C-alpha cells in the first residue's frame, strides 16, 4: 500500500533554521517507514537560496496563495495514493482554510496541523465570534503544539491536541568562530537578543532596563534583526530622542548564528510571548548564561536559567547586574540536559509516531 505525507507550509525565513532541519530529519524517519514525502511551499519562496538548494534533493512544489490553487495542488498530490497525511506548519489563515476545505472533501486524508504560535481569540465583538468559528473550522484530526503553552491555547478538543517540544539542529551551532563587529574594547559586557518584533520580543523592556546602567557598567546590547530592521530602528529612536545610542548595536541575520552567541557574555529573552524560544536553548548549548522573562513557551527549567518577571523592568535590571557580578556556572549540566531533550531524531520519531497513530 502506498503511503504519502504532504508537508505544506508558508514558512519563508531567509535561512533554513531549526524548523527545516527538523522536517528534513522527519523525511528520513518517514522514508524508513516507506512513506513518500512531498514538500509544498508558497510561490513567494521560489527564489530563496536555501529552498533552491533543498529542491535539488527533495520533492518540492510551489503553491499560489489562493484557496482554489492550494486545493488543486493537494488533490494532485494525493492522486493514485491510498493513504495520505497532510501535515501543515506555519500555515496562514488562507492556507489553513484551503487545507480544511480539502480535508472535508476527502474523507480518506488525515489532517495534522502543527502550531508554532499561540492561538489567540480577539475579545471584541464580532471578531471574537468570528475567530472562534474559524478555529473550530480549522480543527485538524490532530493538532500539535510546539510547546505545552501553545497546546493549551488551542480551542480544540483535548483528545485532538498534544504538544511536542521543538528540536534543535546542534550541528549548525558547533562552530567556534566569533563575530568581532560588536565588541569594540575588552571591557564591554555584551548582551545579545533577537528582536525582529519590537513589542513581542520585549526590546522596549530591555532598553528601559539597560539604559540606566549601560555607560556606568559598560553594557552593550546587540540586537539581531532577521526582518523589520527599519521599523525596529525607528522605534528605538523614538525612545531616545531620535538617535540610536552608541551602546545599542544592530546586527543583520546570520545563518552562522553561533558566531553571535559566541561573542556575547549573556543572552537575553525579554519577550512578552513565545511559542517556543529556540534562541534560549541554542545560546545555552553554545555555553552562554541566559536571562528570560517568565512566560509560557520558554524552557525555564533549563539548569542555570536566570528568570525575571515578565515586563518588570526593575527586576530585569537587577537580574542583569546580578549576572554580571555572579558566575554561577551550570553550563555543562544545562548542555547535557538540552542535548538529551531537544535532539532532532528524537523529535522526528515522536512526530512520526503521532502521524501514524
Here the CATH number for the domain that contains residue 23 is 3.40.50.2000
254 in the same domain as 347: no
Is 187 in the same domain as 141?
no
Which three-class secondary structure state does DSSP give residue 89? strand
Measured CA distances, 173 to 21, 147, 178, 285 (Å): 12, 22, 12, 8
Mean pLDDT by 10 residues, the chain (357 residues): 90 92 97 95 96 96 94 91 92 92 92 92 67 76 96 92 96 77 82 92 96 94 89 92 93 86 95 94 94 94 95 97 87 93 97 95
If we measure between CA atoms, which residue out of 293, 292, 320, 294 comes closest to residue 220? 320
User: Distance between CA atoms of 109 and 102, rounded to whole angstroms?
Assistant: 9
Torsion of CA 139, 141, 146, 152, to 10 degrees: 60
> Contact at 8 Å (CB) between 249 and 223?
yes
User: Do 97 and 187 share a domain, yes or no?
Assistant: no
Q: Which three cell numbers stand for residue 188?
A: 564591554
Give the pLDDT of residue 193: 96
Q: Where are the beta strands (DSSP E) in the chain?
A: 3-9, 35-42, 60-63, 83-89, 109-115, 142-145, 161-163, 189-194, 219-224, 248-251, 266-269, 289-293, 306-308
108-142 tens-digit pLDDT: 899 999 999 998 876 666 666 766 677 777 889 99
Dist. CA 141–CA 155, nearest whole Å? 14
**Most distant CA pair in the chain: distance in Å?**
69
The parent domain of residue 53 ranges over 3-167+343-356
pLDDT of residue 39: 98
164-215 per-position pLDDT tens digit: 999 999 998 987 666 667 777 788 999 999 988 899 999 999 999 999 999 9
CA distances in angstroms from 196 to 201, 231, 252, listed in the order given: 7, 9, 10
Same domain, 137 and 178: no
Q: Check: CB of residue 112 under 8 Å from CB of residue 141.
A: yes
Q: Which of 99, 113, 181 is nearest to 142 (CA)?
A: 113
Residues 146 and 11 in one domain: yes
Q: Are residues 218 and 203 in the same domain?
A: yes
Please indicate, yes or no, whether residues 126 and 186 belong to a single structural domain of this protein: no
Task: Please tell me whether residues 236 and 261 are part of one structural domain.
Answer: yes
Q: What is the CA radius of gyration of the chain?
A: 22
Number of domains within the chain: 2
Looking at residue 127, its pLDDT comes to 64
135 lies in the same domain as 216: no
**Does one domain contain both 150 and 181?**
no
The answer on 202 and 90 residing in a single domain is no
Residue 20 in grid coordinates? 527545516
CA angle 120, 86, 84 (to 5 degrees): 155
Tell me: do 95 and 55 sit in the same domain: yes
Q: Distance (Å, rounded) from C-alpha 190 to C-alpha 145?
A: 33
Amino acid at each position: 500500500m502506498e503511503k504519502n505525507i504532504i508537508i505544506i507550509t508558508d514558512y519563508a525565513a531567509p535561512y533554513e533554521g531549526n524548523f527545516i532541519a527538523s522536517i528534513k530529519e522527519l523525511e528520513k524517519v518517514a522514508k524508513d517507514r516507506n512513506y513518500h514525502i512531498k514538500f509544498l511551499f508558497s510561490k513567494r519562496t521560489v527564489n530563496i537560496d536555501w529552498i533552491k538548494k533543498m529542491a535539488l534533493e527533495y520533492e518540492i512544489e510551489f503553491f499560489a496563495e489562493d484557496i482554489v490553487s492550494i486545493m488543486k495542488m493537494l488533490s494532485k498530490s494525493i492522486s493514485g495514493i491510498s493513504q495520505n497525511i497532510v501535515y501543515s506548519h506555519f500555515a496562514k489563515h488562507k492556507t489553513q482554510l484551503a487545507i480544511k476545505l480539502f480535508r472535508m472533501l476527502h474523507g480518506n486524508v488525515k489532517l495534522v496541523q502543527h502550531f508554532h504560535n499561540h492561538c489567540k481569540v480577539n475579545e471584541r465583538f464580532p471578531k471574537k465570534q468570528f475567530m472562534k468559528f474559524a478555529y473550530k473550522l480549522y480543527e485538524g484530526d490532530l493538532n500539535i503544539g510546539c510547546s505545552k503553552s501553545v497546546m493549551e491555547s488551542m480551542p480544540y478538543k483535548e483528545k485532538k491536541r498534544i504538544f511536542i517540544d521543538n528540536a534543535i539542529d546542534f550541528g549548525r551551532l558547533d562552530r567556534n568562530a566569533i563575530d568581532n563587529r560588536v565588541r569594540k574594547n575588552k571591557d564591554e559586557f555584551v548582551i545579545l537578543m533577537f528582536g525582529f518584533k519590537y513589542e513581542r520580543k520585549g526590546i522596549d523592556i530591555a532598553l528601559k532596563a539597560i539604559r540606566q546602567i549601560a555607560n556606568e557598567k559598560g553594557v552593550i546590547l546587540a540586537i539581531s534583526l532577521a526582518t523589520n530592521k527599519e521599523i525596529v530602528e525607528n522605534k528605538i529612536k523614538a525612545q531616545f530622542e531620535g538617535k540610536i545610542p552608541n551602546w545599542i548595536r544592530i546586527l543583520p541575520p546570520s545563518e552562522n548564528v553561533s558566531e553571535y552567541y559566541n561573542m556575547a557574555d549573556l543572552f537575553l529573552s525579554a519577550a512578552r510571548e513565545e511559542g517556543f524560544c529556540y534562541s534560549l536553548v541554542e545560546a545555552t548549548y553554545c555555553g552562554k548564561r541566559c536571562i528570560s522573562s517568565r512566560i509560557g513557551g520558554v524552557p525555564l527549567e533549563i539548569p542555570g536559567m536566570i528568570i525575571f518577571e515578565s515586563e518588570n523592568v526593575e527586576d530585569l535590571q537587577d537580574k542583569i547586574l546580578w549576572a554580571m557580578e555572579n558566575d554561577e556556572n551550570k553550563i555543562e549540566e544545562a548542555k547535557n540536559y538540552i542535548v538529551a531533550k531537544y535532539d532532532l531524531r528524537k523529535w522526528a520519531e515522536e512526530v512520526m509516531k503521532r502521524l501514524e497513530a
